[in-house]
Structure 1
């Protein structure tokens, strides 16, 4: 078992500059967790503490029950059995692809190193590329080699530090899928540090949203998106429609009508009601529960975001529309809500 447990980890770079503030996180063995958060929230510092590049001021880090960091304990990075995939690959430019992958394979004879290297390259879809030099590879291929190099010594944990940032959009999806498949094939536990919400939600088994040095919420991608812990998380992990509402058991009264709640409340109370833009529909039939005026249409190709100023609501709402958009700014429209809502607070 190679589960990762981080308990009460704190780190400051000086008085008044706390970066990690008693952070807790558990990643089950074999799972890939995305640590998601804005710049400056502590993501990179957390990765460096796990890797052993920085000592923690307090708290502990264990992998598979083996203590890496704790009060009075700080294993050297090379003793942690932790593989790292940095940004932009960071391959040794003077070594071939095969020698890059084999770099950390100490204690094996030549035949074993060759066999392990070939297996890793095959795993990441680069069989036959061993004799090439890094400059002969595309950016996506270099990232695959970096992953093979990290996985070759059979680490208990693999850390991925925003490894897709340098890739264009056309490459990212394919490389993400390859990385995910390779981690699953080896059974390694993984931690992906990212500020890209789509990357976290589409790639990881768990998403840990970090705010001000602590985990604000850690759950499955679907749970974080559909049932965020608070309004900040709701806004950070995707476009959000947030409405004031009054809950009464299984429904909430809002400016968009009375909406069913995913989790019924025990008593009547006021709070913020969350919907996602794809739950709203533009309509002119009797199903409309609210009306408003279109103020903007932003077209993205695969869909469009229509902004509507709703009657009786102070802030406009965004409505995600697939297919042709038939409304224009200034036109009146009806709105219908599908699915259930989440009451926050």
Structure 2
């Protein structure tokens, strides 16, 4: 038997809604130790630390300097992603963050450049694309089951997060909006499936200048809208396929499949890329209709944080490079919408390796 894998110390900055999902995943493995947590709400940090054996609530600067912290998990709001990541990198820590990598493309470039100079690594959500849903579809594409891919479509329509989120302000400020919020799931899936994007055309609109919070202690409060809330992009993939993406806070609902991929020999329907699993359907040329594909790739029964575990193991499947490329795609959609011109991309990324079909016990154990 080999030697035991060393335990990685994790420091979490930001203990909002999404932190609960990460903590549940991390609690299920002995490969990591959450050593420290920090939040602007000191009491919230203390409450979280009390529930985690061996964890302390500290100020962010103490967390960055803590020798027990090997990797900083950045779960702050998008506007703070770059500042937190840069502070962690300056302290010599690896960083894994929630999407997007930064609120701006310039911030993402700073993160990646600083990490390269410091010799540390950067990872970023979404890791939902590493589940059996997207990975099974990717395996079908890679195996040639739809022939040469020519097109894809992705759509997410809602009435806006103020319908359920008690503090939705940041969704409607710079760094927010439906594309930056939900787009990473869909765009990362499309890059996983079809490869990087070379150019983008976009259009956008805003249905109203304010929203009303519908739940929580601020129910009935009106908040301002500073960003466009309906965006559509046409993406030109380097392999030749063309994708169409629509993300909106201005509709109500949709019955369209979350993602469809079409090739000259068949078509695929994917499940919601905001989830890890779900049914993948294939319709082959000359076939008798849609058939469900059994899971053939991906982390089984995965949950948020599986990408962090893969990152800790040295994987590049939820990488900063992928997140930066996806952020540039979204930035290019906004640029094109404002200018009316097609926007070429400067970054690219290599499709990460397919995730073999990995049972939950295996990916938790490492």
Q: Which has the higher strand share?
A: 1
TM-score, L = length of structure 1: 0.30
Q: Which has the higher helix share?
A: 2
* Structure of greater Rg: 1
TM-score, L = length of structure 2: 0.29
